[in-house]
Chain A
Amino acid sequence: MRAETGSNSSSPRPSPLSCRPALRVAGAFLGLLALAGCATPPPKDPDALAEYNEANDRYEKLNRKAFAITMWANKYTLRPVAKAYIWAVPRPLRNSFGNLYQTMNEPVVFFNDVGAGKSRRAGDAFVRWCINMTAGLGGLIDVAAYAGYKHHDNDAGLTMATWGVPSGPYLFLPALGPSSFRDGIGYGIDVGLAPWNYVPRGYGLVTFNWAYSIMGTINGMATNVDALDQVLKDSLDPYATIRSAYQQQRKAQAAAIKADHRATVPDWYSNR
């Protein structure tokens, strides 16, 4: 599960457990390999087939198991932690941690904007990084947003989507959450693009990296905990609801990036 980076905060995406990025990637790829022999065959009835194709979930049986385990673990570990965090840390401070996490992720957004051939979006990500790391005190304050450079999300899954790479079947990855073949591979690429995973040992940087990952995960869960609770309470089949919402949102995000022909100037200039 990617930690929350802001612009898609209304998504019902759960943010499960945190562990080391390299381990998470290894786990994701092992999961992909293990899928090889357990696809559900498509139904014969044409209506049922249309439904099957719409769900795009060939590995539903396995995915549902991963979902059940993740939701169970979430209920007893990350959710109470996130609830305690909301109780203990006032909202402005939580927002600051969110900003910090978002700014630190800006290099990944930048590389992906470049990869998607969106130089102007990349420019915005770069300017955001420069402003927030300096004037924003290492990212605690989102000064760039006040200056007219609003945050936008991007990741390698979306970059591949803009290249026309199909998502492949839906996947629910244990601890990482809703994904697909394309987005799962994209997640691995993003971990590779994050400069924080290349910090040398010593100087307390490894500790920083851990603290950063854990903080990002808890903060992300705190942002989403109410939405997730509501989905679990309101839907008859939360698994299917999350699957549908995730796939629709990824499609819309990719379409939005493709259609984004923004100017290099900040908001306050172009809106004059």
Chain B
Amino acid sequence: MQTSFTRRHALGLLTIAGALSVTAPVHAVDSGAQARTFVHDFGNKLVAIVNNDISLPQKKQQIEPLLEQNVDVDAIGRYCIGRYWRIATPEQQTHYLQLFHQVLVNAITDKIGDYRGVSFTVGPATPSGEDIAVSTVINRPGQPAANTEWVISSSSGAPKVVDVVGEGASLRLTQRQDYSSYIARNGGNVDALLHALTKQLANHH
């Protein structure tokens, strides 16, 4: 029932709102519906790969381009390093983002790689600062349903995921506290983080 909000409905709402010549709500309805459609499409593609009966390395191979296309990894990376982004040299910034791409892809594929029979429903979209949070319920066999919110930003031109909130905890905020705490405990040295991430990637299997 929740997923029945289709593009046609969105267009209909847009037309009505346009006819009433209310500018602000037009934008809100437009971006909310757009974000929901985006989550619906991206989620379906992801679930299709996850539920596919192929090997784990094959799944990873297929998921990676999908993530690069639909997730604003650079924006998440900059958020996660917090105040140290400004302290870092341009070389450190580039190196960090390279490492972060791999770390994020590994984290996501590790988490969903082994699942089978996943399904999800898209709930309502609510504004979250300048972005839009779309709530979903993810169902996995034999496990309690997981309420997950996807924060969608269009600041890069196209809608992209900039955060995932699971049971109230924002992944990017948690990650930022992890990284900034690690850097702070290593004398505020960004290289310490780069070294730790390189080591983490080397140990990944």
Contact = CB atoms under 8 A, between A and B. Distances in A.
B174 A241 contact: yes
Given A51-B82, A244-B178, A249-B167, A236 B107 contact: no
B178 A235 contact: yes
Given A51-B184, A236-B196, A252-B167, A10 B178 contact: no
Nearest to B197: A236
B142 A237 contact: no
A7 B166 CA distance: 12
A269 to B, nearest CB: 16
Interface in A1-50: 6-11, 47-48, 50
B136 to A, nearest CB: 14
Contacts of A235: 178
Interface residues of A, number: 29
A237 B83 CA distance: 17
Interface in A239-272: 239-241, 243-245, 248-249, 251-253, 256
**Interface of B (DSSP majority class):** helix
B178 A248 contact: no
B168 A252 contact: yes
Interface residues of B, number: 26
Given A51-B83, A243-B177, A244-B173, A11 B182 contact: no
**Interface of A (DSSP majority class):** helix
B166 A240 contact: no
B165 to A, nearest CB: 8
Nearest to B196: A236
A201 interface: no
Contacts of B178: 235-237, 240-241, 244
Given A54-B177, A241-B177, A248 B144 contact: no
B174 A245 contact: yes
A10 B107 contact: no
B181 A237 contact: yes
Contacts of A47: 83
B180 A10 contact: no
A252 B169 CA distance: 8
Contacts of B181: 55, 237, 239-240
A55 B196 CA distance: 22
Given A51-B184, A234-B107, A7 B173 contact: no
Nearest to A246: B169
B8 interface: no
A47 B83 CA distance: 7
B179 interface: yes
Interface of B: 82-83, 107, 142, 144, 146, 166-170, 173-175, 177-182, 184-185, 193, 196-197, 200
Interface of A: 6-11, 47-48, 50-51, 54-55, 91, 234-237, 239-241, 243-245, 248-249, 251-253, 256
Given A11-B169, A55-B181, A240-B178, 16 more contacts: A8-B167, A51-B82, A51-B180, A235-B178, A236-B182, A236-B193, A236-B197, A237-B185, A240-B182, A241-B175, A244-B169, A244-B177, A245-B169, A248-B173, A252-B167, A253-B168
Q: Closest 8 CB pairs between A and B? A: A252-B168, A240-B181, A244-B177, A236-B182, A47-B83, A248-B169, A249-B168, A245-B169
30 contacts: A7-B144, A8-B167, A10-B167, A48-B184, A50-B83, A51-B82, A51-B83, A51-B184, A54-B177, A55-B177, A235-B178, A236-B182, A236-B196, A236-B197, A236-B200, A237-B178, A237-B181, A237-B182, A237-B185, A240-B178, A240-B182, A241-B174, A243-B177, A244-B177, A245-B169, A248-B173, A249-B168, A252-B168, A252-B169, A253-B168
